[in-house]
């Protein structure tokens, strides 16, 4: 199949992705649920994604299409493309007939504005590959009480793929960033939900220091293959460790600005946290907010699955943990509701911004029902809370300790 035909097929698959199917997942009796840290139970089961080339992710919304990865699908050291979560703010654009002809504009506070094709970008600048986290800013939103606005992500709006691209810093240096540069503004080709192609669905940016960080990339490959359309292909940004909304898909423009960017998604309560703690469920004050940047520390158990029925009292656990700009130093496990904790083994990351594998072996005292809790602590000493705190209207920063349920056969 020719490249153009592959892209057209991808477009058809994306459009087909709005189709969903219902299925039940819990193996435990109905009515047994957790207050925090795991996916809420649904009587009829979640809606599952039906899309060629993608696993059966849990669909949180059809327009725009958003789907999270069940915890048991996050067990790979590098998240396979088919299991990677989907996050959109607008509509999926048409695939280009020639991906290498795709153009990206670099303008604003630069000495030499650029209109560069993807093909030129790939050949002109050094190509690098890193395993790095991408995480939706609303990951963990479902754990807030009362419910915050937006898609009710549990812990599945995150994944660690291997991304190949060029350093944004190299491109900006070639354009000649002026001393007046303060912030970037990112634009993509995804049309607004209204269908108005002249109106951006979202346009966020980052401080120049983060844009120049050597792991911030313009990427065109995911796990060694051409970046799929649904994940922003043919070219997107990866701003690792920070809210994924800054990692613009279908990248068309980087506007270097002399002030903080003010595009759609930068104002109001969008991707912002309350400076002064507010009463949960209250309106809040847009002026008393700060931009969400680095994502909080989080550990997620990937094996066994929540609701598993097991024959052995010896419980071998696996999972991943990550911490935004920081490294995870410890992960602790409890099987007695936090009365006692046992340290897990935590592997070093393969590179900065990659998640870290943790493993633990726990001997349970008898058959019966148990909750297994996991909490991570980062290199700054910040640990996960027992509940999602610092409530905000759009539910950012919810990272309570992860909890799963298991039933040990008698």
The domain limits of the chain are 1-294, 298-408
Q: What pLDDT does residue 18 have?
A: 36
Tokens read off for 205: 């940016």
DSSP per-residue codes, 15-41:
HHTT-EEE-----SPTT---SSSSPPP
Q: How many CA atoms lie within 13 A of 160 on its CB side?
A: 26
Peptide bond before 234: cis, by omega within 30 degrees of 0?
A: yes
User: What does the radius of gyration of the chain's CA atoms come to, in whole angstroms?
Assistant: 21
Sign of the torsion angle spanned by Cα atoms 327, 329, 301, 76: positive
Q: In whole angstroms, what is the distance from residue 308 CA to residue 32 CA?
A: 13
Mean pLDDT, 10 residues at a time, over the chain (410 residues)?
A: 38 37 41 51 77 97 97 98 98 97 98 98 98 98 97 98 99 98 98 91 98 98 98 98 98 98 97 97 96 98 97 97 98 98 98 98 96 98 97 98 96
Domain 1-294 has CATH 3.90.420.10: yes
Helix (H) or strand (E) holding 329: strand 328-334
Q: In whole angstroms, what is the distance from residue 318 CA to residue 300 CA?
A: 9
Q: In whole angstroms, what is the distance from residue 146 CA to residue 148 CA?
A: 6
Q: What pLDDT does residue 24 have?
A: 32
Tokens read off for 388: 């999602």
Question: What CATH number does the domain located at 298-408 have?
Answer: 2.60.40.650
Q: In whole angstroms, what is the distance from residue 199 CA to residue 327 CA?
A: 38
Cα separation values, 314 from 35, 41, 44, 362, 364, Å: 25, 26, 32, 6, 6
Sign of the torsion angle spanned by Cα atoms 130, 131, 132, 134: positive
54 DSSP 8-state letter: S
Beta-carbon contacts of 23 under 8 Å, excluding residues fewer than 6 positions away, are: 45, 46, 48, 56
Q: What pLDDT does residue 19 have?
A: 34
Contact indicator for 291, 350 with CB cutoff of 8 Å: no
Q: What pLDDT does residue 6 have?
A: 35
């Amino acid at each position: 199949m020719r490249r153009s035909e592959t892209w057209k097929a991808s477009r058809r698959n994306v459009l087909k992705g709005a189709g969903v199917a219902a299925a039940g997942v819990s193996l435990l009796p109905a009515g047994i649920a957790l207050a925090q840290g795991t996916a809420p139970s649904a009587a009829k089961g979640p809606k599952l994604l039906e899309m060629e080339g993608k696993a059966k992710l849990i669909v949180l919304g059809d327009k725009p299409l958003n789907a999270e990865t069940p915890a048991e699908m996050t067990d790979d050291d590098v998240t396979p493309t088919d299991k990677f979560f989907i996050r959109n703010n607008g509509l999926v654009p048409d695939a280009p007939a020639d991906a290498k002809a795709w153009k990206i504009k670099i303008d604003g506070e630069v000495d030499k504005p650029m209109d560069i094709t993807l093909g030129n970008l790939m050949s002109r600048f050094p190509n690098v590959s890193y395993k790095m986290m991408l995480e939706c800013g609303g990951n963990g939103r479902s754990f807030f009480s009362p419910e915050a606005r937006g898609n009710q992500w549990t812990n599945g709006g995150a994944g660690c793929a291997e991304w190949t691209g060029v350093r944004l810093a190299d491109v900006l240096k070639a354009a000649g960033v002026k001393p007046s540069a303060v912030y970037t503004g990112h634009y993509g080709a995804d049309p607004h939900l209204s269908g108005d192609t002249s109106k951006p669905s979202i346009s966020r940016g980052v401080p120049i220091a983060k844009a120049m960080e050597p792991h911030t990339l313009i990427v065109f490959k995911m796990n060694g293959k051409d970046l799929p359309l649904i994940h922003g292909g043919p070219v997107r940004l990866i701003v690792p460790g920070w809210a994924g909304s800054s990692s613009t898909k279908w990248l068309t423009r980087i506007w270097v600005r002399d002030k903080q960017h003010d595009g759609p998604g930068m104002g109001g309560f969008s991707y912002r946290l309350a400076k002064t703690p507010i009463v949960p469920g209250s309106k809040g004050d847009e002026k008393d907010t700060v931009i969400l940047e680095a994502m909080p520390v989080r550990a997620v158990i990937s094996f066994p699955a929540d609701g598993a029925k097991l024959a052995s009292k010896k419980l071998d656990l696996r999972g991943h943990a990550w911490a935004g700009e920081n490294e995870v130093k410890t992960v602790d496990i409890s099987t007695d509701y936090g009365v006692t904790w046992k340290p897990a083994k935590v592997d070093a990351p393969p590179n900065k911004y990659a998640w870290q594998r943790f493993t633990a072996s726990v001997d349970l005292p008898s058959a019966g029902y148990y909750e297994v809790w996991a909490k991570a602590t980062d290199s700054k000493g910040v640990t996960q809370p027992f509940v999602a705190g610092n409530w905000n209207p759009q539910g950012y920063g919810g990272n309570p300790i992860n909890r799963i349920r298991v039933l040990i056969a008698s």
